[in-house]
Chain A
């Protein structure tokens, strides 16, 4: 059988590797997306004190440590059956909103966005932040650096460090903020709102104003009808820090909402022997393999998924952007019931900008809350520690930490369902679909395959820092085309 290996920089561990097999007619028989690394946090966190989990699990991912920090602190709250005081909760959410703002900015301008801003057909060497600067103008480079600096400064003010924060503990926070810091955070928040609106404006002008790009967004090659998952508040609005997990069917029916502690009634993880990463799926629907549709338990947890599972955004400007998103991509049809969904996976980039605006508006709301500088930031637990679940919405998917402890609060078992992992099956499916649409009768559309596979990755913003170490979206790819004897007959490469 002929075989195509897409190995991101041959032998470079940790990036993910794709094997595509062709049948005798030269059509794609199967595609395997392998994750070649494991570190074993679920094992070696056993025996550690529960209050250390927010700092230990930071080290799962240096790209999104804030998500693990918060999920671990919330699981610690649950283990001790305590709620942080209101200010403790607000501070955590403020740090988290600043993190979302920083992370989404990085993705849109440096990683995923260049495909659109510079253009999907531009040479790979130009599809990067420098290409964005070239197209939009010099000032954008400075703005992006300023946005990242601003975001990291807020994270450091509240979390004590720019990377791997230190202040969230079971029961609240170790440290509050001063009025002087609050003023600075409010200033940054207001700047961030303008920056997010500016970013949506760029998307409007460059992507929506270009029929060719719009057609690509709406094309079948980038469409998957799966279930969607995301955290929502009591009004079913998107929430990053807290709430219930909402599940939406591919047909727009809300299948259910569950409290994070009930996650095992809803999610299970499938195992394959050819990869170190597991494949989460909806337990009630069941694992039916790497397939779309209402009968397959495969779900997606991304910015697009969050918009699809919610009824709207909790802040006014983001709500306007949300309405425009659906009115443009899924116009209302008379008589139709149920939630209007967008299944076009490339629209994830736009959804990310709607969330960017929400994160910025939420920063301002939190920074202007009269209680944000209160020193009442900790609840000291009095109950015996037992078991607890903590869930936040990480930028790359719903993140769940589940701990069991002995009576001293020392961990006896740990279960983690990590953001990007939620999207492992959908990513594998997107890769297979891209391959199927570009390989026929043994003929490979060379550059097209590489571009499409890479774009299929980038829209998910895969962060295998959680499983490996590659930065989201940056995928050096090398394709070796082998004949049926396994000999390499041709090598194509991009970014490597």
Chain B
């Protein structure tokens, strides 16, 4: 059960009191403190927050923004000097890729009452989580030996380098990429790559309402700024029209029927396993859902759910027929775990897992 910021006709579940996080008592005259921090990320989450446009002024009015390094001034040393729990809400975008990001996530957790995994990287690893199919050595070797790299001596970045003038340090690239909740305790998740700006605003409004006592504090573990169903439920395309006996690749089909479900036209679409909340943007422009809003409510493993959804539209019954249909999926690992590998039951390949310690 999770309350949603989406206005739908569905009855809202009664909010349970949070097990750990409780609405902080507002000190007279003091605004609650907000921190926004990006770990290993593309910056798209920050842009999505900025794209709430004029509402950003309301956020600034409701909170004292104590940290948002990508956008505004903020003194990091002041965070270290704060009392534990002094920050009311911290939004973390980006994944845990280096020892520095892990250190900062832990520090912010200590200082914050509520910790929010903001966007796909923080909540499930996102596309960069596909790095967990390779070892750290393979990733570094590839990046520093590409076809245009001039590197006859096979130089690799090192965490500690003795330059002629002194020692230079780099954060350590960790063996596998982790999600925020694999590093610290997380109270809420706002999914999406990036979260849609109107959903961000809705989620922030819900938090503000909880803080000023006009709304319930969402229960710990809640997913905010999204629905409780799947992208298919908000997609305008018609379903259950037909079954398929093969998959197609998007570049092989000049145009798709604009009314019919893309999956039922043979295009591997991730809608059935993906949480609703975006408004089915991609299928509305004849592109498949790629799954950026993460696992639908109650789904333990995203890929497993998607596989069963595909199985339900396939007409093949004999094993060799089924194999033939599945051969139409060019990249099963990417198709089923494109955004969620780092958060899946597997988390990483054996190669990556075993590479701990080697550089």
Least CB distance from A407 to B in Å reads 11
> Is B17 located at the chain interface by the 8 A CB criterion?
no
A1 in contact with B74 (CB, 8 Å): no
A167 to B251, CA, bound (A): 11
A38 to B5, CA, bound (A): 35
| Mask of A24-60 contacts with B, CB within 8 angstroms, 1/0 | 0000011010101111111111111101100110111
Residues in A neighbouring B126, C-beta threshold 8 A: 59
> Is A200 located at the chain interface by the 8 A CB criterion?
no
With known contacts A271-B155, A469-B40, A496-B74, A43–B251 Cβ distance under 8 A: no
With known contacts A410-B330, A415-B146, A174–B287 Cβ distance under 8 A: yes
Residues in A neighbouring B39, C-beta threshold 8 A: 13-14, 469
The closest CB in chain B to the CB of A381 belongs to B251
> Is A101 located at the chain interface by the 8 A CB criterion?
no
Residues in B neighbouring A270, C-beta threshold 8 A: 150-151
Residues in A neighbouring B255, C-beta threshold 8 A: 375, 378
Least CB distance from A342 to B in Å reads 29
B44 in contact with A274 (CB, 8 Å): no
Residue among A11, A30, A62, A415 with most chain B CB within 10 A = A62
> Is A419 located at the chain interface by the 8 A CB criterion?
no
> Is A402 located at the chain interface by the 8 A CB criterion?
yes
Identify which of B94-102, B214-222, B231-239 touches chain A: B94-102
A401 to B286, CA, bound (A): 24
> Is A417 located at the chain interface by the 8 A CB criterion?
yes
A415 in contact with B193 (CB, 8 Å): no
Determine which of A38, A62, A380 lies in contact with B47 in the assembled complex, contact meaning CB atoms within 8 Å.
A62
A37 in contact with B171 (CB, 8 Å): yes
A13 in contact with B104 (CB, 8 Å): yes
B134 in contact with A164 (CB, 8 Å): no
| Mask of B326-341 contacts with A, CB within 8 angstroms, 1/0 | 0000110110001000
A12 to B250, CA, bound (A): 41
A470 to B38, CA, bound (A): 8
A65 to B45, CA, bound (A): 12
A148 to B100, CA, bound (A): 33
> Is B143 located at the chain interface by the 8 A CB criterion?
yes
Identify which of A236-244, A261-269, A345-353, A431-439 touches chain B: A261-269
Identify which of A155-163, A355-363, A442-450 touches chain B: A155-163
Identify which of B27-35, B180-188, B202-210, B277-285 touches chain A: B277-285
> Is A63 located at the chain interface by the 8 A CB criterion?
yes
> Is A135 located at the chain interface by the 8 A CB criterion?
no
Interface size for B (C-beta < 8 A) is 85
Is chain A's binding surface mostly helix, strand, loop or mixed? loop
With known contacts A40-B131, A62-B41, A264–B250 Cβ distance under 8 A: no
A59 in contact with B44 (CB, 8 Å): yes
Q: Which of B126-154 contact A (CB under 8 A)?
A: 126-128, 130-131, 133-134, 138-140, 142-144, 146-151
Determine which of A163, A164, A381, A476 lies in contact with B51 in the assembled complex, contact meaning CB atoms within 8 Å.
A163
Determine which of A13, A167, A267 lies in contact with B287 in the assembled complex, contact meaning CB atoms within 8 Å.
A167
With known contacts A160-B284, A163-B44, A469–B38 Cβ distance under 8 A: yes
Residues in B neighbouring A413, C-beta threshold 8 A: 147
> Is A3 located at the chain interface by the 8 A CB criterion?
yes
> Is A273 located at the chain interface by the 8 A CB criterion?
yes
A324 to B251, CA, bound (A): 45
B150 in contact with A1 (CB, 8 Å): no
B156 in contact with A273 (CB, 8 Å): yes
A175 in contact with B285 (CB, 8 Å): yes
The closest CB in chain B to the CB of A61 belongs to B42
With known contacts A13-B101, A43-B139, A476–B69 Cβ distance under 8 A: yes
A278 to B149, CA, bound (A): 8
A161 in contact with B281 (CB, 8 Å): yes
Residues in B neighbouring A8, C-beta threshold 8 A: 69
> Is A465 located at the chain interface by the 8 A CB criterion?
yes
> Is A306 located at the chain interface by the 8 A CB criterion?
no
A380 in contact with B334 (CB, 8 Å): no
Residues in B neighbouring A160, C-beta threshold 8 A: 281-282, 284-285, 287
Residues in B neighbouring A145, C-beta threshold 8 A: 53-54
B149 in contact with A268 (CB, 8 Å): yes
B69 in contact with A12 (CB, 8 Å): yes
Residues in A neighbouring B264, C-beta threshold 8 A: none
Residues in A neighbouring B133, C-beta threshold 8 A: 44, 47
> Is A287 located at the chain interface by the 8 A CB criterion?
yes
Determine which of A62, A149, A280, A410 lies in contact with B194 in the assembled complex, contact meaning CB atoms within 8 Å.
A62
Residues in A neighbouring B94, C-beta threshold 8 A: 469
> Is B46 located at the chain interface by the 8 A CB criterion?
yes
> Is A495 located at the chain interface by the 8 A CB criterion?
yes
Residues in B neighbouring A409, C-beta threshold 8 A: 249, 251, 330
A273 in contact with B40 (CB, 8 Å): no
B281 in contact with A166 (CB, 8 Å): yes
B330 in contact with A470 (CB, 8 Å): no
Residues in A neighbouring B251, C-beta threshold 8 A: 51, 76, 80, 169-171, 380-381, 409
Residues in B neighbouring A161, C-beta threshold 8 A: 281-282
B42 in contact with A465 (CB, 8 Å): yes
> Is A314 located at the chain interface by the 8 A CB criterion?
no
> Is B1 located at the chain interface by the 8 A CB criterion?
no
A415 in contact with B282 (CB, 8 Å): no
> Is B173 located at the chain interface by the 8 A CB criterion?
yes
Determine which of A3, A124, A164, A166 lies in contact with B166 in the assembled complex, contact meaning CB atoms within 8 Å.
A3
| Mask of B302-337 contacts with A, CB within 8 angstroms, 1/0 | 000000000000000000000000000011011000
Least CB distance from A373 to B in Å reads 15
A80 to B40, CA, bound (A): 33
Residues in B neighbouring A162, C-beta threshold 8 A: 51, 197
The closest CB in chain A to the CB of B144 belongs to A271
A285 to B356, CA, bound (A): 41
B149 in contact with A474 (CB, 8 Å): no
> Is A92 located at the chain interface by the 8 A CB criterion?
no
> Is A104 located at the chain interface by the 8 A CB criterion?
no
Residues in A neighbouring B139, C-beta threshold 8 A: 38, 40, 43-44
> Is B81 located at the chain interface by the 8 A CB criterion?
no
Determine which of A29, A52, A164, A471 lies in contact with B165 in the assembled complex, contact meaning CB atoms within 8 Å.
A29
B285 in contact with A274 (CB, 8 Å): no
> Is A15 located at the chain interface by the 8 A CB criterion?
yes
Residues in B neighbouring A32, C-beta threshold 8 A: 163, 168
B157 in contact with A61 (CB, 8 Å): no
With known contacts A44-B130, A274-B157, A39–B150 Cβ distance under 8 A: no
> Is B158 located at the chain interface by the 8 A CB criterion?
yes
> Is B254 located at the chain interface by the 8 A CB criterion?
yes
The closest CB in chain A to the CB of B94 belongs to A469
The closest CB in chain B to the CB of A145 belongs to B53
> Is A197 located at the chain interface by the 8 A CB criterion?
no
Determine which of A415, A465, A469 lies in contact with B148 in the assembled complex, contact meaning CB atoms within 8 Å.
A415
A152 to B143, CA, bound (A): 33
B147 in contact with A402 (CB, 8 Å): yes
With known contacts A9-B76, A47-B331, A380-B253, A62–B46 Cβ distance under 8 A: yes
29 contacts between A and B (CB under 8 A): A10-B77, A13-B104, A15-B69, A32-B168, A34-B168, A36-B98, A40-B142, A44-B128, A44-B131, A44-B139, A47-B331, A49-B331, A51-B249, A59-B126, A59-B128, A61-B44, A125-B73, A145-B53, A164-B193, A170-B251, A174-B285, A269-B150, A274-B158, A276-B157, A276-B170, A402-B147, A463-B43, A470-B70, A471-B47
Shortest 10 CB-CB contacts between residues of A and residues of B: A62-B44, A160-B285, A465-B43, A21-B165, A13-B100, A40-B139, A62-B42, A43-B142, A175-B285, A44-B130
Beyond A14-B101, A62-B194: 20 further Cβ-contacts under 8 Å? Answer: A11-B76, A29-B165, A36-B170, A37-B171, A43-B138, A44-B139, A59-B42, A59-B44, A76-B251, A161-B281, A163-B194, A169-B287, A174-B285, A269-B148, A269-B151, A273-B158, A273-B161, A378-B254, A469-B94, A470-B69
